[in-house]
Amino acid sequence: MKAGYLWLSSFACLPLAGWPLLAHPGYRTLSLAARTGLAFAAGAALLSGWMTALALVGLPWQPAVLVALAGATAFALRLSLSNERTALETPPFEGPAGLLEKSAVFLSVLSILAALVAAASSAATSADLILLWGAKAQAFAAARTIDASFLRDPSLVYMHPSYPPLVTNLQAFATQAAGRFAWGAATLTFPLLIAVLACSLPGALRLTASRRIAWAASALAVSALGFLGGELGVGGNADPWLWTFEALATAILIGPAARSGAGQLLAELLLAGTSAAKVEGLLFAAAAVTLFLMLRRREVRIGSAVAFLVIPSAVSLGSWFLFEATRHVFYGYEQYGRFLDVHWDRLSLVLSGIGHALWSAGWALPYLLPLAALLLAPARHRLLWLPVGVSLALCAFSVFTYLHGDPDPSGWISWSAGRIFSPVPVLLVIGAVGARPEQH
């Protein structure tokens, strides 16, 4: 029990590591809750990045040193921002919260509690936690680094050595801090990350829309992910981390914050976390940056925007790929099949399998409500195409991936499609907020 508390409480180091950056004056228009949640996400990306970098150069992990390095990096990034050019725009003042805002807060709290019950009762436990994430985290913590020999072991067929390192890194960090891997505590990262998103997403969207719309959209997103997480069994695996990074990065990129260096830097730290959390996060980050530069090319300085938006992910992923290559672990994603070896004759089978997976067990509702919110938005703004475009890219590439590999992908689709498409409802909700041009 004590180890479980220590394991989970070690994540309190993440907002501490990210706070030196979020304490910059450019972020003070965000609420304290939003800055705390964003500091958590930024700290996670920085801490995992340093864990990968130290593994690359062969230095062992020490939890206190890792937190200090992540915090120092956050402070250095803060110094790179100039006060006169990075301040986020202050949202208009609004009076006391009304019934809709209070109802949105209640729905978010209820969703967090439901996720907590599902995780604590093991109803949301992921089989991948036992077969993959937990096993790798234990090995990494014992080795005090990314254990390349463990990843190369041919008898461990389910270890997926090509998966990005963020989740296993952070779980190994917690395992070192607690002294052992705490399986029950690991499942509680699902409600923890839903709570982080519930705290930070309203503030991020508040820069773009009115408080009523921002809180309502956040509540819809949080409740959709809370429901999907319980149904999909994501306790302890990478999906909640991916959801948090993707939602917050998109919320920043569609708003006025993205016109400032502070907003661009924060968004890229979130995208760096996205790309290091899951394989599909790589596509998400690439699509988001590309669409941002296309849609906002007249509002930002392209050179500085590219630097802010690309460098953190390039450093993080570069360290990971270089580690994997120099340790002879993997050189590409061959397990998904050859890129040009596409079986187009399976298209109808793949599409019907995806439709069945998303419709079964009531999963359609979390997708239809955000889609309705997007379609019923009273206005249209070009920035809605950023979350919508990323959603379309994610869906298209997932279908493209399913057209490779096994002759009959039905089984693969049945257990993976729900998780792969789970970010789409949140992106549609954020697209509905981005469709409103009033405060852009």
Q: What is the pLDDT of residues 349-402, one digit of tens each?
A: 888 888 887 777 556 667 777 777 777 766 567 778 899 999 999 999 889 888
Average pLDDT over residues 154-181: 91
Alpha carbon dihedral 13, 16, 22, 23, in 10-degree steps, equals 180
Write out the chain in H/E/C secondary structure. CHHHHHHHHHHHHHHHHHHHHHCCHHHCCCCHHHHHHHHHHHHHHHHHHHHHHHHHHCCCCCHHHHHHHHHHHHHHHHHCCCHHHHCCCCCCCCCCCCHHHHHHHHHHHHHHHHHHHHHHCCCCECHHHHHHHHHHHHHHHHHCCCCHHHHHCCCCCCCCCCCCCHHHHHHHHHHHHHCCCCHHHHHCHHHHHHHHHHHHHHHHHHCCCCHHHHHHHHHHHHHHHHHHHHHHCCECCCHHHHHHHHHHHHHHHCCHHHHCHHHHHHHHHHHHHHHHHCHHHHHHHHHHHHHHHHHCCCCCCHHHHHHHHHHHHHHHHHHHHHHHHHCCCCCCCHHHCCCCCCCHHHHHHHHHHHHHHHHHHHCHHHHHHHHHHHHCCCCCCHHHHHHHHHHHHHHHHHHHHHCCCCCCCHHHHHHHHHHHCCHHHHHHHHHHHHCCCCCC
Average pLDDT over residues 116-138: 91
* pLDDT score of 332: 59
Confidence class for position 347, pLDDT limits 50, 70, 90: confident
Q: pLDDT tens, 31-56?
A: 999 999 999 999 999 999 999 999 99
pLDDT at 338 over 70: no
**Better pLDDT: 436 or 437:** 436
Please report, for the chain, the start and end positions of each structural domain, with discontinuous segments joined by +: 2-81+103-434
* pLDDT score of 440: 45
Q: What is the CA 146 to chain-centroid distance, rounded? A: 21
Query: 7 with 24: CB under 8 angstroms?
Result: no
Confirm whether pTM is higher than 0.95. no
